[in-house]
Amino acid sequence: MGTHLSAGCPRPAPADARRDAVREVLGVTDEPAVGTPDVRYGRSWSRHGVAGRELTWAAGDDGPDTAGWLLRPDHPGETTARPAVLLMHAHDGVKFYGKDKVADGPDGVPPGIRELRTRGYDGRAVATALVHAGFVVLVHDVFPWGSRRVPWPELPDRATAAGYAAFPPGPDTPGIRRRRYDAAAREHEHGLAKAAALTGTSLAGKVVAEDLRALHVLLTTDGVDPNRVAATGFSGGGARVAHLLACSTRLRAGVITAMMSTFADVADGRADDTTWLMITPGLPAVCDWPEIAACHAPRPLLVQFALDDSHFGRQGMRDSEAVLRRGYDGSEALTTQWFAGGHRFSAQMQVEAAEWLVRNA
């Protein structure tokens, strides 16, 4: 199947051929065939200048429906179509929640999310700033996070054992049960990746198929300019953006935060701490990780790096930046930014990303 260490791998290829090859590995051979699912609308709310609406749609498999939130500036009666952002939630080592990590829903901030945001997002809800910048924002859960997570009774014994090892039986509270679930889900991710490979797909392939359905929902939403839609994500969300940029030609711009290096760097002692969303069998034989994102050329792309990112080495990140620049052939459509600190989506990074999107989406 090829790896980054195999002779001729990653193999050089023209951008169109590379895009086709990435799509083939991920199982996305015909984007229009994905189609737009039937959307059901739930509660509406308004808070801090943000008007929200609950959405659900069939995920395209036998699992639970996808839940999403559509967020827009709270301007009742507005008729002008706005630019939009498909906001990808990250991995965060937390699968109990998905979209809640980066957006506030009708019930406010759920238990445990403030702590997660303090740790990884400077306490901010990423979606709120994007709405205040003038965007319509769609954030949705994907398998196996949030509404798309695997129910506890369906987890295999090895996963539940990991959960109980981390949080033994005792006086259970909702917080303990959430943490136990996430400990089990971290173990289960390996099994999900194995099962996907055995059925001819991958965890990343399954996720990008769901992200494509969500993109089509956003593109057909009233009040959205379909020619001004971008995607943005941090960490595992950034991995989702990279795949979506390769699998869709409908995005005007993309932002990838703290999720850019080379496959060689990840393989050099960092694979154990890297999500399966970035590790797909067969993909390193097609191209290196930054070349996946560079499929988006010549359209605008922002890549944000954290200097002390624990997930990647500095040299690997520098190498990936050089690969991106070659892929963009020196075009000003590519912007790279470097920030002090570790693997997080800091307030400064969020501000810079929002300002860049205003200029480019």
Backbone phi, psi, residue 160, to 5° = -65, -35
Task: Give the span between the Cα atoms of 325 and 290, in whole angstroms.
Answer: 10
Q: What is the pLDDT of residue 13?
A: 64
Q: Average of pLDDT values for 163-182?
A: 94
| DSSP reduced 3-state for 242 | helix
Q: Average of pLDDT values for 35-59?
A: 95
For residue 308, count other CB atoms closer than 10 A to its CB. 12
For residue 30, count other CB atoms closer than 10 A to its CB. 7
For residue 106, count other CB atoms closer than 10 A to its CB. 14
Instruction: Read off the pLDDT of residues 67-126 as tens digits, 9 standing for 90 and up.
Output: 999 999 999 888 889 999 999 999 999 999 999 999 999 999 999 999 999 999 999 999
Residue 2 reports pLDDT greater than 50: no
Residue 226 reports pLDDT greater than 90: yes
For the full predicted model, state whether its pTM sits above 0.75.
yes
Q: What is the pLDDT of residue 77?
A: 83
Specify which residues 192 forms β-bridges with: none
Q: Which fold has domain 40-148+201-360?
A: Rossmann fold (3.40.50)
Residue 33 reports pLDDT greater than 90: no
Residue ranges per structural domain of the chain: 40-148+201-360
Q: Which residues of 156-182 are buried (b: 16+ CB within 10 A; e: fewer)?
A: eeebbebbeeebeeeeeeeeeebbbbb
Q: How many CA atoms lie within 13 A of 155 on its CB side?
A: 25
Task: Give the span between the Cα atoms of 175 and 87, in whole angstroms.
Answer: 26
